[in-house]
């Protein structure tokens, strides 16, 4: 009876936590993203410290400033890449319009449609089903929301980075019991080691995948190859679904640009092969070793966090789940659940 009562209380608590996470996502998502950025900054500073010769002699403040400048430069280059390709896309829009119309007409012929579509008929059929004013309004609101989120994330990251130096002292004063303090320190060290290893290895694999994809797309002469390669690298942080979306975006661009179906199919096959080799051999091995999460756990966490927090939840699903598993493993009552969620049962 006691076990059943504990199970019911646990289920109710889990539902309450899920509801709070969903309701408070506008506040929690920027805070978690800010923490991730701080984590990356601290990790880069630690890497700089290990650079032979120069690293150990660099002051801590200089290493942090360099890490912040490096991340800021990366975001600036990403924004510049998007803006530069946007201008080129506008310039090439008439050419893409003709290619896309030709592709639609070829499909119409294949399916035996008597009247070949034209832009006039397509616009009439499309706009008859879409409220353009509402679409433009929602697009403007989405862009404003993204900009606001970036600003809030920057504020959170700034305050967390400023308070990072005082965290060690706070941790030592969490309890008057030295044994409990040592246990908390051990848990935090384990969290830092696993999450740091995951972020480093995932970034390495994503950069490699982006480089290989860029080489393939540049070989085919695909427009905006660098932009698609960056998107493929970013989407690789989303387990399973991200790799499919990355290839799909590049293939859609190929459909618009190239008139021959054989070129589109061969490009899709080459990109899919790169995703298969890196995603099914290198990525799962490294990620599984770094976080010790089972494939089912990763897939389930992706579905849960995407439902709770949307797209940001998909990017944060694996690190958050790893934190949850490590915390669960520290309590006797929840340790069996942590064992089930792990890859090999060793925590």
DSSP string for residues in 16-78: HHHHHHHHTHHHHHHHHHHHHHHHHHHHHHHHHHTSTTTGGGS-HHHHHHHHHHHHHHHHHHH
Whether the predicted pLDDT of 295 surpasses 60: yes
Residue in the block written with tokens 């400033």:
65
Query: How far apart, in Å, are the Cα atoms of 243 and each of 117, 164, 261?
Result: 33, 35, 22
Reported confidence tier of residue 132, pLDDT bands at 50, 70, 90: very low
Whether the predicted pLDDT of 127 surpasses 50: no
DSSP-based three-state secondary structure for 293: strand
The predicted structure's pLDDT at residue 33: 87
Instruction: Single out the residue of 137, 149, 154 nearest to residue 25, CA to CA.
Output: 149
- Per-domain residue ranges for the chain? 1-91+131-165
What proportion of the chain, given as a percentage, has pLDDT over 90? 6
Tell me the C-alpha distance between 58 and 63, whole Å: 7
pLDDT, tens digit, for every residue of 248-273? 888 888 887 877 778 888 999 999 99
69: which residues sit within 8 A by CB, 6+ positions away?
A: none
Whether the predicted pLDDT of 199 surpasses 60: yes
Q: What is the largest CA-CA distance in the chain?
A: 82
Two structure tokens written together for 225:
């190859």
108: which residues sit within 8 A by CB, 6+ positions away?
A: 116, 117
Burial class (CB in 10 A: 0-12, 13-18, 19+), 331: exposed
The reported pTM is: 0.76
Tell me the C-alpha distance between 152 and 256, whole Å: 37
Whether the predicted pLDDT of 140 surpasses 60: no
Tell me the C-alpha distance between 169 and 250, whole Å: 49
The predicted structure's pLDDT at residue 136: 47
232: which residues sit within 8 A by CB, 6+ positions away?
A: 209, 210, 213, 246, 247, 249, 250, 271
The predicted structure's pLDDT at residue 121: 59
Reported confidence tier of residue 22, pLDDT bands at 50, 70, 90: confident
Burial class (CB in 10 A: 0-12, 13-18, 19+), 71: middle
The predicted structure's pLDDT at residue 61: 81
Whether the predicted pLDDT of 287 surpasses 70: no
Burial class (CB in 10 A: 0-12, 13-18, 19+), 232: buried
């Amino acid at each position: 009876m006691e076990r059943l009562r504990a199970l019911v209380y646990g289920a109710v608590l889990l539902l309450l936590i899920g509801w709070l996470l969903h309701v408070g996502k506008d506040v929690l998502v920027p805070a978690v993203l800010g923490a991730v950025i701080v984590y990356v900054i601290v990790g880069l500073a630690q890497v700089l410290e290990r650079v032979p010769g120069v690293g150990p002699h660099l002051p801590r403040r200089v290493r942090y400033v360099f890490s912040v400048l490096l991340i800021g430069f990366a975001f600036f280059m990403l924004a510049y890449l998007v803006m530069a390709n946007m201008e080129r896309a506008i310039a090439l829009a008439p050419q893409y319009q003709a290619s896309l119309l030709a592709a639609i007409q070829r499909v119409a012929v294949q399916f035996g449609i008597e009247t070949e579509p034209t832009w006039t008929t397509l616009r009439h059929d499309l706009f008859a089903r879409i409220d353009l004013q509402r679409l433009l309004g929602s697009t403007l609101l989405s862009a404003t929301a993204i900009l606001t989120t970036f600003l809030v994330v920057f504020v959170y990251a700034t305050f967390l980075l400023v308070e990072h130096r005082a965290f060690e002292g706070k941790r030592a004063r969490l309890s008057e019991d030295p044994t409990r303090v040592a246990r908390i320190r051990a848990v935090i060290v384990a969290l830092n080691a696993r999450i740091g290893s995951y972020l480093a290895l995932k970034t390495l694999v994503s950069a490699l995948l982006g480089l290989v994809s860029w080489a393939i797309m540049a070989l085919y002469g695909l427009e905006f190859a660098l932009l698609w390669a960056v998107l493929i690298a970013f989407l690789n942080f989303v387990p399973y679904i991200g790799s499919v979306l990355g290839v799909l975006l590049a293939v859609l661009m190929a459909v618009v640009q190239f008139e021959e179906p054989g070129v589109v199919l061969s490009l899709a096959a080459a990109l899919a092969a790169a995703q298969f080799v890196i995603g099914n051999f290198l990525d799962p091995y490294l990620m599984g070793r770094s976080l010790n999460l089972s494939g089912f756990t990763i897939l389930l966490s992706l579905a849960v966090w995407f439902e709770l927090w949307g797209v940001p939840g998909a990017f944060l699903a694996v690190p958050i789940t790893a934190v949850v598993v490590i915390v669960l493993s520290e309590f006797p009552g929840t340790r069996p659940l942590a064992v089930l969620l792990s890859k090999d049962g060793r925590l």
